[in-house]
Structure 1
Amino acid sequence: MNQHSKPRVAVVFGGRSSEHAISCVTAGSVLAAIDREQYDVVPIGIATDGRWVLESGDPDRLRITSPEQLPSVDGARATIALAPDRASTSLVVTEPSQPPRTLGDVDVVFPLLHGPWGEDGTIQGMLEMAGVRYVGAGVLASAVSMDKAYMKVLLTAAGLPVMPSVNVTSRQWAADAAECRTRAGEIGYPLFVKPARGGSSIGISKVHDASELDDAIELALREDPKVLVEAAAEGAREVECGVLQALDGTPETSLPAELRVGGGHEFYDFAAKYLPGEHTEVDIPADLPDEVAASLRALAVRAFEAVGCEGLARVDFFVFPDGSLVVNEINTMPGFTPTSMYPQMWAASGVDYPALVDRLIRLALARDTGLR
């Protein structure tokens, strides 16, 4: 613990992925919610070029005001880094024409990064090496859950239902596009093409027939050299469930929530998720038979434990008309604004946004780094 009377929390956001702006929005909400009477807060932004800077922490600057005005980290601010000493967790600030100065030790990092170079185990590995506690899943769970292809392998091995899919890499596409088309077509249309390690619906296409496949694969490959081609869950409802560990480590589940996308959106794309004025509706709790809701919540815990999650996760499901369930994916750092699904589900379940943030910080402070 640092020498201050309050635990010091470094909120890390931004990053190099295409979800940079969404990470900034998430951070703005968390920074506004952290109880400054309980915690000393240091906002750390990672610019799109990978530079770590001491950010202002102004929540208003980190909001989406329009599709053309997405927030971003100011890479021109003073750079910041952990001290290069395994025995120290001190933050060192460097500014032009000024000697380096220290901000003191960090007790816990709240990594609010979405996508590659953050949500995928990379920052978790760095923090493990530095011996710094952090909120959320560890290296393996973060990496597996970020990579939808490997997530499916692991969930299938654990006996959990997933949608049929095939993988297409940039090398395979360049070497034999016809063979890739054949494998994709065997799944049957319609289908979805998505970056295997992406999020926020960036680079995702719904493909209705073979004529749309090439463009969809090319779009996804611009985001990730590995692409997932997956059967569409036609006729299914999209229902999500939050998992949150109690302070003793027991995973608890929220009330499930159903997404109903309107406004001309064929699926839950980026605009439907994040832009103001869209027509996505949320039902919390989802209108499900009691036995289906109970099964869904039990499957959410099984998925959480199958990948070795810690802290929090949002588990997304397809619910078919006969009540059968399929796990769509796991998000180890789900959207985390007060209007995002995960906080909304927990608010409806009796844990409001400030309490949710506090629970996650306390869980991280109680957990050591290393093997556990």
Structure 2
Amino acid sequence: MKLYLIYGGKSAEHEVSVKSAHSILKVIYYDHYSVIPVYITREGQWLKAPAINDLSGIPEFEHMNQTETKEAFNFLEMKEGESVAFPVLHGPNGEDGTVQGLFESLDIPYVGAGVLASAVGMDKIISKSIFKEAGLPVLPYEEVHLTDWKVYPEGVLSALENQLGFPMFVKPANLGSSVGITRVLDSAQLQDAVELAFEYDHRVVVEKGVKAREIEVAVLGNEDIHTSVPGELVKHKPFYDYEDKYLNQEVFRQVPSDIPEELATELRLLAAKAFHAIDGSGISRVDFFLTEEGDVYINEVNTFPGFTNNSMYPRVWAKTGLPYEDLIEEVIQLGVRRHKDRLVKSTRRNK
């Protein structure tokens, strides 16, 4: 089978995608796949590299975004013979339903969540609304639209302070990996934080800040949903930005999290419920806040979480009993099976 490993992308999470793709290339079962790396530049150009058929063909990490072949990619190639797309893309223009919709239109099997789940999971405002409707606990939040901000910024700032108080977190509605996020402690920081978030999106979500542990649960499956043991991001300061998480590697990931078994079971059930609420399939990582008082809140669902060998998603699955290389194979097969199931659905009107 030809496996098109697609990485890079028009997103602020470009570097994380490259790292994830390189880690995946090292553990794919090459006895079953011929892997064709497809790099998406920051400008959106799709470039294809020569096929990789064994470990010796993997390029060095530094050259993952400078593959030997610079020809533009032809999507019709994926229609020739048995093939599957593996979009290792994080953030907008990759994890948000856009690429997934492309593959659906072309009738090409692909790995990961579908169009709806990808779009909902990416949008922090829409996902929180759906979580609330599903009965999942969500922290108080407010949404800010760019048009309102341009017309009356003073009123927006005043309303945020009155509704949420400090501390608060200001985030772009559609982004991940802590890009564009600010922890705001007072009025003096709030305006700059909102303007920073608007550099990445035209909608911003502002959440009430709480002192809490960050617990994460991995989800795997289509109709049959499986959850991992919870992992925890152990923090030595209140907030870690993109550089801390991915470049400086300052975040310590404790697997499994040191929480009571009853709480771990509850979080796994909540993770499955959130996955179901957004119509998830394939993979997701569900992130929770656990306060000092023992209250649990869902933060977000990542429909394609980081996939480096140091990322939380593969680490919690390894601790649950599913090694990294077997996890990669499982997520590929889930994508293939979902496509086959979709093919049997009728497209004809009953008479």
Same fold, TM exceeding 0.5? yes
Tell me if structure 2 keeps the 8 A contact 1:47–1:73: no
Corresponding residue number in structure 1 for 2:75: 82
Aligned Cα root-mean-square deviation (Å): 2.0
Which runs of structure 2 are paired with 1:293-304 in the superposition (5 Å)? 293-304=264-275
The alignment's TM-score, normalised by the length of structure 1, stands at: 0.86
Which runs of structure 2 are paired with 1:146-295 in the superposition (5 Å)? 146-185=122-161, 186-234=163-211, 236-245=212-221, 249-262=223-236, 265-276=237-248, 278-295=249-266
In 2, Cα distance between equivalents of 1:59 and 1:327: 38
Q: Secondary structure at the match of 2:315?
A: helix
Deviation at 1:74, TM superposition (A): 5.8
**Equivalent of residue 84 in structure 2, options 102, 105, 108:** 108
Deviation at 1:113, TM superposition (A): 0.8
Deviation at 1:216, TM superposition (A): 0.4
The percent of aligned pairs where both chains have the same amino acid is: 40
In 1, Cα distance between equivalents of 2:210 and 2:228: 24
Tell me if structure 2 keeps the 8 A contact 1:192–1:206: yes
In 2, Cα distance between equivalents of 1:240 and 1:268: 15
In 1, Cα distance between equivalents of 2:101 and 2:69: 26
Q: Secondary structure at the match of 1:134?
A: coil
Equivalent AA in structure 2 for residue 160 of structure 1: L
Tell me if structure 1 keeps the 8 A contact 2:85–2:111: yes
Tell me if structure 2 keeps the 8 A contact 1:147–1:196: yes
In 2, Cα distance between equivalents of 1:205 and 1:352: 35
Deviation at 1:73, TM superposition (A): 5.5
In 2, Cα distance between equivalents of 1:274 and 1:178: 35
Corresponding residue number in structure 2 for 1:121: 97
**Equivalent of residue 321 in structure 2, options 347, 350, 372:** 350
The alignment's TM-score, normalised by the length of structure 2, stands at: 0.91
Tell me if structure 1 keeps the 8 A contact 2:48–2:69: no
Matching of residue 140 in structure 1 with residue 116 in structure 2:
yes
Tell me if structure 2 keeps the 8 A contact 1:27–1:62: no
Q: Secondary structure at the match of 2:276?
A: helix
Equivalent AA in structure 1 for residue 232 of structure 2: E
Tell me if structure 2 keeps the 8 A contact 1:20–1:72: no
Tell me if structure 2 keeps the 8 A contact 1:240–1:314: yes
Tell me if structure 2 keeps the 8 A contact 1:166–1:183: no
Corresponding residue number in structure 1 for 2:286: 315
Give the helix-richer structure, 1 or 2: 2
Q: Secondary structure at the match of 2:285?
A: strand
